[in-house]
């Protein structure tokens, strides 16, 4: 007789990683992902860079991340930056 074993609560169900590009002068960029349970996920900003030739002025290109819904990760810049910004992220879903 087969025995069913459920994963322990809190164990990792899956990990997704990606890079979102916020186009120059746009406030946000998005990535579409496989559906996750938003109540059981952790989203982390791994790093970011810009195509600006000189150092960023203040923090106008500084990004943040949001799990907008079960299938969308959104990267937003702080304020009116005009350079393209690449944002690296990682999402972990738990059982």
User: For residue 8, what are its two tokens?
Assistant: 């322990």
Compute the distance between CA of residue 20 and CA of residue 66 in angstroms, rounded to an integer: 12
pLDDT, greater one: 69 or 8: 69
Task: Give per-residue pLDDT as tens, 3-34.
Answer: 777 888 889 999 999 999 999 889 999 999 99
Interatomic CA distance for residues 17 and 44, integer angstroms: 9
> 39: closest CA among 69, 17, 65?
69
| Predicted confidence (pLDDT) at residue 57 exceeds the cutoff of 90 | no
d(CA 27, CA 29): 7
55 pLDDT exceeds 70? no
Are 85 and 48 within 8 A, CB to CB? yes
Q: Identify which has the larger pLDDT, 67 or 7.
A: 67
Q: What average pLDDT does the structure give for the chain?
A: 90
65 pLDDT more than 80: yes
- The structure's pTM equals 0.87
């Amino acid at each position: 007789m087969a025995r069913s074993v459920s994963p322990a609560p809190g164990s990792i169900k899956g990990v997704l990683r990606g890079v979102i590009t916020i186009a120059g002068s746009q406030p946000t960029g998005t990535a579409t992902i496989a559906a996750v349970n938003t109540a059981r996920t952790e989203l982390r900003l791994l790093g970011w860079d810009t195509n600006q030739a000189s150092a960023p002025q203040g923090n106008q290109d500084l990004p943040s991340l949001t799990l907008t819904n079960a299938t969308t990760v959104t990267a937003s810049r702080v304020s009116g930056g005009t350079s393209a910004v690449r944002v690296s992220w990682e999402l972990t879903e738990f059982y």
